Structure 1
Amino acid sequence: MNYKDELYTTRIDIGFPRATNSEKTQLARLEQLRKLKSDKELEHLARNHKLEINLTEARKEWLQTLGPNHKKQIAEHYGIYEHLYGEGYFIPYVNLDIHYELKNGLNLPVYTGNVIKPAEAGEQPSVAYESDDNSLWTLVLTSLDGHLTENDKEYVHWLVANIPSNNIERGDTIIEYLRPFPLKGTGYHRYVFILYKQSEKISYDLKNVTSSSPLEDRTFVTREWYQKHQDSITPSGLAFYQTDWDHTVKDFFHNVLNRKEPVYEYDFPPPYIRPQEWFPLRKPFNLYMDKYRDPKQIKKEYLLRKLKNEDPFKAPPPPLKFPNAHSLPQSMPSWLKLHEKKIRLGWGRINDV
């Protein structure tokens, strides 16, 4: 990881400035807060768990006050700004109301980091936001993780420019929507919606990309693209979700991209094993010796032992109803007794074969 000293790192606000409330508005809010705190009836209902709150109104109030700053803090926690703009950041004052429509008729919203499966994000989502009638906007959906060939680049999954007001359908679709495809074994991927406000109509120097275009045409670097057009666009809205692999990703690679699906496995560092001792005290004999053997050889022995008792012409013997009720030979060592009990119960390495 590249360490950055926050003391010497200059953060740049690339968004719109904070809207300052008048002194009259601030005093009115403080007076309303004092009134609510001194309301005995509200306190009585709250203590008896009978106070009902209108969540729609509460969310509306939150979006107008603390919501944008909370979204910024969440985005910083997930490294969104750093991986999009480097030292740049912005406060998302414009709320994005994004929903994926599911097959059962329900809508799945996109908030700030909620988990959405690839199967649920197969179709283009609906996007709504508040806007003036004479404004122009650009909407971008980009994947910060999972580029197949270059670690420091992204795939842009959707880009609509010159959107009049909040009418997405009337905008210029430069890059058509592409469903997410997080790779197997790579964990959660971040998919980010960014809404930019335009100062004028822009003709981006981007190649038109359709759903049948090669995946390489979607290679994108938000920071370079924004620096090129920063005089004409300002980031205003932000929403993102996380997604991980499911079975539909395999079908997407085979049927849409016409290529094999890459599968990854994390290579964990080997655990530390202290030097072997001549007389290890209070340590199970078999487990202690297995630490210094090849794991593949151990699994092979378990498999051979299992196949030794298999007969393709006979049904397997029924499992013991009460495994530990059957006694073991008294001459058997204690470590071997414990080993046999684990095999009977299906515990431990017996499950690896």
Structure 2
Amino acid sequence: MAARIVQSFSGDTQFLLRTAALQRFTRNGHRLRGKPPGVAKTLEQRLAEERAVDPEVARKINIGFPHLKPARSALLKERLAHLKAQRVNPELEKASRAHTLSIDPELVKRTWLKTSGPFHVRRLAEHYGIFEHLFGAAYFVPRVDLQIAFRNGDAANPVYYGNIVKPTEASQEPEVHFDSSFNYKEALGRTEATSDSSSTSWWTLVLTNPDGHLSEADKEYCHWFVANIPSSDVSKGDRIVPYLQPFPPKGTGYHRHVFVLYKQEKKLDMGEYRIEEAEVNLTARTFSTLDFYRKYQDDITPAGLAFFQSDWDSSLIGFYHDVLKMKHPTFEYDFPKPYLREQEWFPLRKPFNLYMDKYRDPKQINKEYLERKLARTHPFEGPEPPLRFPNAHPIRDVPSWLRTEIKRDRRGWGRINDI
């Protein structure tokens, strides 16, 4: 059919049609190999086919409390009642017109936590890889708001969801508050009473670091472990592991420190994780959140989450020596040595001194610079004052490479500043 249509046109028209058809398979005068763009699969499509994952296998498991949505009619009724109350309030309208209307941030926060807040916290935790590195293929939506702050005198350093807290700011045990009146029976659809008294709820709080283990990459360090917390009074809980401040080694970047609050079904005996107060043993603090949850998953449910990030500061040098009784570790990149070609008899267009320094010991070069600097430093009066106008002093009867070296020395440029 297409051939008949082409034949019905004149010669010039047929030429234009053939040219347009060929342009689909050429680019910049070169013929394309393989399928043309638009027909061939993109790199993203090919990688998606190669890395295809079974959705049933990759599906995450919710190990927290379920979210029970209230009836839509009840929500609409509550919203309408609120709007009616606001519309008949003359003081509210007067403040709005005068631009003096203020909003209570605590009320906004309570509303946020009651509606979309827990889901926002879950997305933040997924962004930082908290669930993946602590619970593997599981996750939970934090239903209980954790209010945590490190006190340093009059200042307070709160913990939110990924903010930075320095080791000096987190040197002391934090203050923890949460609402223990969370109706977990209603969330689970239960009506029967538990074995404990209905007036007391039991909780467990664990602070762990999934990034800082010095010998096992898939393990964590437990920085704090308080079990059998009655209601919300952390001070009355059973201290299984005493508090230990963050100690990220130098050169390892930011470390995540995660607070996980568990709701207990009953009072539990977790003495196997117990560490003495006076003992600071990192081997004994080796911890795995996934193994811990698997062991007590029938009696505990994760309900609260908060985490912060911490990196190295100078106070950790003494902490490693005095508290951990170990050498202060420092991690650095091990750069390969630069490639040096064989020396030439007559290197052209290369400064003589810099070319020769490439093939010398750097320690010997630094030693010579230091000796030169000390030779011009008086033991009591200090170094010689610099020239006020260094470019105004002529340099005569010296090779070009030495003239450049003298100019750099006068201006304070180059390697001598590293000594």
In the superposition, the TM-score normalised over structure 1's length comes to 0.78
Larger mean Cα displacement after TM superposition, 219-228 or 180-189: 180-189
Shift in alpha-carbon separation, 1:318–1:71, aligned structure 2, 3 A: same
Map 1:1-353; keep pairs closer than 5 Å.
7-8=53-54, 9-24=58-73, 27=76, 52-103=102-153, 105-132=154-181, 133-215=199-281, 216-257=283-324, 259-270=325-336, 285=351, 289=355, 293=359, 296=362, 298-310=365-377, 312=379, 315-320=382-387, 322=388, 324-329=390-395, 340-353=406-419
Equivalent pair of 1:328/1:337 in contact (CA under 8 Å): no
Query: Which residue does 1:39 correspond to in 2?
Result: none
**CA deviation string 1:9-30 (max 9, x = no partner):** 3422222222324213554698
Shift in alpha-carbon separation, 1:348–1:88, aligned structure 2, 3 A: farther
* Equivalent residue pairs, number: 335
Task: Give the Cα separation in 1 of the matches to 2:53 and 2:178.
Answer: 36
Q: Letter of the aligned partner of 1:227 in structure 2?
A: R
Equivalent pair of 1:142/1:193 in contact (CA under 8 Å): yes
Q: Letter of the aligned partner of 1:319 in structure 2?
A: P
Task: Give the Cα separation in 2 of the matches to 1:286 and 1:64.
Answer: 73
Task: Give the Cα separation in 1 of the matches to 2:114 and 2:405.
Answer: 63
Structure 1 runs not aligned, ≥5 long: 37-41
Greater Rg over alpha carbons, structure: 2
Structure 2 runs not aligned, ≥5 long: 1-50, 87-91, 182-198
Please state how far the C-alpha of 1:245 moved relative to its aligned partner.
2.4
Q: Letter of the aligned partner of 1:97 in structure 2?
A: Q
Please state how far the C-alpha of 1:195 moved relative to its aligned partner.
0.3
Shift in alpha-carbon separation, 1:285–1:331, aligned structure 2, 3 A: same
Provide the alpha-carbon RMSD of the alignment.
Answer: 3.9
Task: Give the Cα separation in 1 of the matches to 2:100 and 2:354.
Answer: 60
Task: Give the Cα separation in 1 of the matches to 2:100 and 2:403.
Answer: 59
Please state how far the C-alpha of 1:317 moved relative to its aligned partner.
0.7
Shift in alpha-carbon separation, 1:274–1:94, aligned structure 2, 3 A: farther
Partner SS, residue 263 of structure 1: coil
Query: Which residue does 2:34 correspond to in 1?
Result: none
Please state how far the C-alpha of 1:236 moved relative to its aligned partner.
1.2
**CA deviation string 1:282-307 (max 9, x = no partner):** x9747984895567255444334434
* Larger RCO (CA within 8 A; separation ≥ 6): 1
Task: Give the Cα separation in 2 of the matches to 1:116 and 1:244.
Answer: 8
Please state how far the C-alpha of 1:170 moved relative to its aligned partner.
2.2
Please state how far the C-alpha of 1:205 moved relative to its aligned partner.
4.8
Please state how far the C-alpha of 1:197 moved relative to its aligned partner.
0.9
Task: Give the Cα separation in 1 of the matches to 2:315 and 2:70.
Answer: 49
Please state how far the C-alpha of 1:144 moved relative to its aligned partner.
1.7
Task: Give the Cα separation in 2 of the matches to 1:342 and 1:28.
Answer: 80
Shift in alpha-carbon separation, 1:114–1:276, aligned structure 2, 3 A: farther
Partner SS, residue 134 of structure 2: helix
Q: Letter of the aligned partner of 2:179 in structure 1?
A: E
Shift in alpha-carbon separation, 1:149–1:340, aligned structure 2, 3 A: same
**CA deviation string 1:324-347 (max 9, x = no partner):** 453442777777666555444444
Task: Give the Cα separation in 1 of the matches to 2:155 and 2:144.
Answer: 25
